[in-house]
Amino acid sequence: MIIAVDGPAAAGKGTLAKRLATHFDFALLDTGRLYRAVGHLVVDAGGNPAKKDDALRAAQLLNPGQIKSDDLYTEIVADAASQVAAIPAVRQVLLDFQRDFARTPPGGKAGAVLDGRDIGTVVCPNANIKLFITARPEIRAKRRHKELQEKGLESKYPAVLAEIEARDERDRTREVSPLKAGDAWKIDTSDKTPDTVFEMVRTYIEDRSS
Ligand code: CDP
Query: Residue with the nearest Cα to atom 17 of ligand 1?
Result: 82
Give residue limits of the domains in the chain: 2-204
- Are residues 65 and 33 in contact, defined by beta-carbon separation less than 8 angstroms? no
Pocket of ligand 1 (CB under 6 A): 9-10, 31-32, 35-36, 78, 81-82, 85, 116-118, 167, 171
Indicate the pTM of the whole model: 0.95
In this prediction, residue 65 carries a pLDDT of 85
- Are residues 203 and 22 in contact, defined by beta-carbon separation less than 8 angstroms? no
Nearest to 14 by CA among 184, 140, 150: 140
Atom of ligand 1 nearest to the CA of 33: 8
Whole-number Å distance, alpha carbon 144 to ligand 1 midpoint, is: 14
Could you tell me the CATH superfamily of domain 2-204?
Answer: P-loop containing nucleotide triphosphate hydrolases (3.40.50.300)
Nearest to 66 by CA among 39, 98, 84: 39
In this prediction, residue 103 carries a pLDDT of 97
Query: Residue with the nearest Cα to atom 20 of ligand 1?
Result: 85
8-state DSSP, 123: I
* pLDDT block averages, 10 residues each, the chain of length 210: 97 96 98 97 96 97 88 91 97 96 96 98 98 98 94 93 94 95 97 97 92
Please tell me the distance from the alpha carbon of residue 162 to that of residue 141, in angstroms, as a whole number: 9
How long a stretch of residues is the chain? 210
